């Protein structure tokens, strides 16, 4: 019955935004029995924030455990967007063909969002000039409170979406408080429609209380990043569980072609970064396993956000092996869980703040 199919997407070259948009819509259109198109919001310039939910529909009255994979929110990190498409290819084309993939699709709802900063991505593809090609932020209109060497009131565009979440956010955070920094946090938390869309979706009745793991891919550095990153030596209560699984997944990736990931918080390995999406999600939802993957190459290569495209499939293959380790763990840990139906009535907010993975 291996009738699932995906539209053509060339993973040996770098694609532009329209190819991603057509692909994501096409996958859902061609596989309606187990793939659903998800539009969680729109960007500053009105582009849809697109993804798919891959999963066999749950039996009536039951909710499936969910997992989330995304290609990150930094414009120049093209490999991460493409690896997310590789994951969709793997899941959709492997369904009813490969036993392991079939189990994932039958047991889980797998959300995949390849590009969460389409405007920045489009802009980064418009020129080979370094200032444009290496663009990181979204395309928020210019803010004229920027500073430079011996200059003030400089006007600069864009917000770093991964500094825009409401965690550790402060107007005293240098350089994140400077509109002319690559890492400008924005004028206030959630000032950007792209970060609000992710926040609102993870808090929505569709996935709150059943999303058990989330992996956000970025480039580069070969780092398997755990929360929290807004402060050094600050960890969630279940940090040991997150670290154990990350080490297991990183070992599996290493076994494939010896790509070595360092595991830890970015705050401890590199330095603090406030306002991060994964930090906020870990802190504000019951989702257990929350990771950022900084894909190859490692830190020895400077400014290597865009590897040669012939590496995209090998990176996809090895990274997928780590994702399988996470999926297997999620299935194992949740086999006795029944995520509860979204509560109704006045006590809703109180209930929704508490973890809603209920042991059967």
What is the per-residue pLDDT across 42-64, written as a single tens digit (0 to 9) for each?
999 999 999 999 999 998 888 99
**pLDDT given at position 348:** 41
Q: Is the predicted pLDDT of residue 340 greater than 80, yes or no?
A: no
Q: Say which DSSP state 162 is in.
A: G
The continuous run of DSSP H or E covering 89 comes out as helix 78-94
Tokens of 98: 């490969």
Q: What is the largest CA-CA distance in the chain?
A: 67
Among the listed residues 85, 166, 182, 72, the one whose alpha carbon sits nearest the alpha carbon of residue 117: 72
Per-residue pLDDT band at 114 (split at 50, 70, 90): very high
Q: Is the predicted pLDDT of residue 118 greater than 90, yes or no?
A: yes
pLDDT tens track for 130-155 = 889 888 898 886 888 888 887 888 88
Among the listed residues 115, 163, 155, the one whose alpha carbon sits nearest the alpha carbon of residue 137: 163
Range of weakest confidence among 54-58, 176-180, 189-193, 312-316: 176-180
Q: Structure pTM?
A: 0.90
Counting DSSP H helices and E strands in the chain, the numbers are 11, 12
- The catalytic site residues sit at 294
**pLDDT given at position 215:** 96
Q: Is the predicted pLDDT of residue 351 greater than 80, yes or no?
A: no
Per-residue pLDDT band at 359 (split at 50, 70, 90): very low
Residue with tokens 């990190």: 77
Q: How far is residue 324 from each of residues 125, 295, 317, 321, 329, measured CA to CA in Å?
A: 32, 16, 11, 5, 8
Q: Which domains does the chain possess? A: 17-125+196-334 (3.40.630.10)
Q: For residues 21 and 279, which has the higher predicted lDDT (pLDDT)?
A: 21
Q: Which distant-in-sequence residues (6+ apart) come within 8 Å of 155 by Cβ?
A: 142, 143, 144, 146, 179
Q: Give a three-class secondary structure readout of 216-227.
A: EEEEEECEEEEC
Tokens of 309: 């495209």
**Mean per-residue pLDDT of the chain:** 87
Among the listed residues 146, 209, 150, the one whose alpha carbon sits nearest the alpha carbon of residue 181: 146
Per-residue pLDDT band at 300 (split at 50, 70, 90): low
Q: Is the predicted pLDDT of residue 347 greater than 60, yes or no?
A: no
Q: Is the predicted pLDDT of residue 186 greater than 50, yes or no?
A: yes
Average pLDDT over residues 329-334: 96
Per-residue pLDDT band at 313 (split at 50, 70, 90): very high
Neighbouring-strand partners of residue 221: 298
Strand duo 223-226 + 289-298: pairing: antiparallel
Average pLDDT over residues 313-338: 94
Q: Say which DSSP state 140 is in.
A: P
Average pLDDT over residues 74-92: 95
**pLDDT given at position 299:** 63
Strands, E, within the chain: which ranges? 35-42, 48-54, 65-70, 108-113, 143-148, 151-156, 211-221, 223-226, 262-265, 289-298, 337-339, 357-359
Long-range Cβ contact pairs of 144-151 (< 8 A, separation 24 or more): 144/179, 145/179, 146/178, 146/179, 146/180, 147/178, 147/180, 148/180
Residue with tokens 């409401």: 166
Strand duo 35-42 + 48-54: pairing: antiparallel
Q: What angle do CA 26, 29, 34 make, to 5 degrees?
A: 115
What is the residue-wise DSSP string for 249-305?
HHHHHHHHH--PPEEEEHHHHT----S-HHHHHHHHS---EEEEEEEEEETTSTT--
């Amino acid at each position: 019955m291996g009738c699932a199919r995906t539209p053509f997407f060339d993973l040996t070259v770098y694609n532009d935004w329209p190819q991603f948009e057509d692909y994501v819509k096409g996958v859902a259109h061609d596989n309606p029995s187990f793939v659903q198109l998800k539009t969680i919001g729109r960007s500053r310039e009105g582009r849809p924030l697109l993804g798919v939910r891959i999963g066999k529909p749950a039996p009536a009255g039951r909710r499936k455990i969910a997992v989330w994979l995304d290609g990150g929110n930094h414009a120049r990190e093209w490999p991460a967007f493409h690896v997310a498409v590789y994951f969709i290819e793997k899941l959709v084309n492997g369904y009813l063909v490969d036993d392991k993939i079939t189990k994932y699709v039958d047991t889980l709802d797998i959300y995949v969002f390849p590009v969460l900063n389409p405007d920045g991505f489009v802009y980064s593809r418009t020129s080979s000039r370094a200032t444009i090609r290496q663009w990181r932020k979204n395309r928020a209109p210019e803010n004229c409170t920027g500073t430079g060497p011996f200059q003030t009131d400089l006007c600069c565009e864009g917000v770093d979406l991964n500094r825009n979440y409401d965690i550790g956010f402060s107007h005293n955070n240098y350089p994140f408080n400077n509109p002319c920094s690559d890492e400008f946090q924005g004028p206030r938390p959630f000032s950007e429609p792209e970060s609000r869309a992710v926040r609102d979706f993870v808090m929505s009745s569709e996935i709150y209380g059943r999303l058990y793991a989330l992996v956000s891919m970025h480039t580069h550095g070969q780092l398997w990043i755990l929360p929290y990153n807004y402060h050094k030596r600050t960890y969630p209560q279940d940090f040991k569980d997150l670290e154990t699984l990350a080490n297991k997944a990183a070992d599996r990736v290493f076994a494939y072609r010896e790509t070595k990931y360092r595991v830890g918080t970015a705050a401890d390995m590199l330095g603090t970064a406030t306002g991060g999406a994964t930090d906020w999600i870990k802190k504000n939802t019951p989702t257990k396993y929350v990771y950022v993957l900084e894909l190859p190459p490692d830190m020895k290569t400077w400014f290597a956000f865009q590897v040669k495209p012939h590496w995209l499939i090998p990176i996809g293959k090895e990274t997928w092996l780590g994702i399988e380790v996470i999926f297997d763990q999620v299935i194992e840990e949740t086999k006795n869980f029944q995520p509860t139906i979204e509560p109704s009535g006045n006590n809703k907010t109180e209930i929704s703040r508490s973890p809603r993975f209920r042991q059967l």
